[in-house]
């Protein structure tokens, strides 16, 4: 039997909400791509991450229907888990490239580039109420990140994420990669309130690197 840790990533300030994540700490337990795809589909989380080399931080990320070169929520969750086990990583290595890791109190941060984010559309709406009123998923094709300013001066955004992949994930509760893309497009750090109560924080660095961070908790049994 494969051991799986289940976490909630990008929890709100009260520790609630967050996007469920499956973590397979021993990637050798599921060595082939077909087996990983099947496990990710069976779990049904927006992503499942496999740790293939703990020393180097090599990881493999799967949605229920496809692998991803980069995603924020699995990397933040895995970094937090390894720290909780006394092995805080400095770098994780998904297929897209080397991802730096930082810890700041109860926040876990990972760094990457907007070019690593798989293709998706960000669409601005006039108000948070319009974002809240969208069906899950909205009509159309392709990944949609719907957002509106909740407090533009303070950089607070209301957002919802819709993969629209027909793989059972109607809405993504909290999406680190999309948050990074929106940060790149708007050119400023953001405090994103996504889904049913999740919080995603972002930063920009002068060298074009973007950081995404948040709180992580273990999923209650």
pLDDT, tens digit (0-9, with 9 covering 90-100), for 111-158 = 999 999 999 999 999 999 999 999 999 999 999 999 999 999 999 999
Q: What is the pTM of this model?
A: 0.97
Q: What is the per-residue pLDDT across 166-211, written as a single tens digit (0 to 9) for each?
A: 899 999 999 999 999 999 999 999 999 999 999 999 999 988 899 9
Contacts of 34 (CB under 8 A, 6+ apart): none
pLDDT of 207: 86
Q: How far apart are CA 25 and CA 73, in angstroms?
A: 16
Q: How many CA atoms lie within 13 A of 188 on its CB side?
A: 11
pLDDT over threshold 80, residue 220: no
Q: How far apart are CA 179 and CA 211, in angstroms?
A: 10
Q: Which ranges constitute the DSSP H helices of 57-212? A: 72-84, 128-132, 176-186
pLDDT of 163: 96
As given in the structure block, the two tokens for residue 29 are 């337990």
Q: How far apart are CA 142 and CA 53, in angstroms?
A: 32
């Amino acid at each position: 039997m494969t051991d799986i840790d289940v976490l909630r990533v990008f929890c709100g300030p009260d520790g609630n909400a967050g996007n469920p994540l499956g973590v397979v700490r021993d990637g050798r337990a599921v060595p082939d791509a077909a087996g990983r795809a099947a496990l990710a589909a069976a779990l049904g989380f927006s992503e499942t991450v496999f740790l293939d080399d703990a020393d180097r931080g090599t990881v493999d990320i799967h949605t229920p229907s496809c692998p991803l070169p980069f995603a924020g929520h699995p990397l933040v969750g895995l970094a937090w888990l390894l720290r909780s086990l006394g092995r805080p990583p400095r770098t994780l290595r998904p297929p897209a490239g080397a991802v730096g890791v930082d810890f700041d109190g109860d926040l876990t941060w990972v760094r990457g580039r907007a070019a690593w984010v798989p293709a998706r559309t960000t669409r601005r709406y006039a108000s948070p109420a319009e974002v809240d009123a969208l069906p899950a998923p909205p009509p159309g094709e392709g990944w949609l990140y719907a957002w509106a300013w909740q407090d533009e001066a303070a950089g607070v955004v209301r957002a919802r994420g819709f993969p629209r992949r027909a793989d059972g994930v109607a809405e993504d509760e909290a999406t680190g990669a999309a948050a990074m893309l929106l940060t790149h497009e708007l050119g400023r750090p953001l405090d994103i309130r996504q889904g049913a109560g999740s919080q995603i924080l972002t930063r920009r660095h002068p060298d074009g690197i973007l950081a995404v961070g948040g709180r992580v908790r273990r999923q209650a049994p």
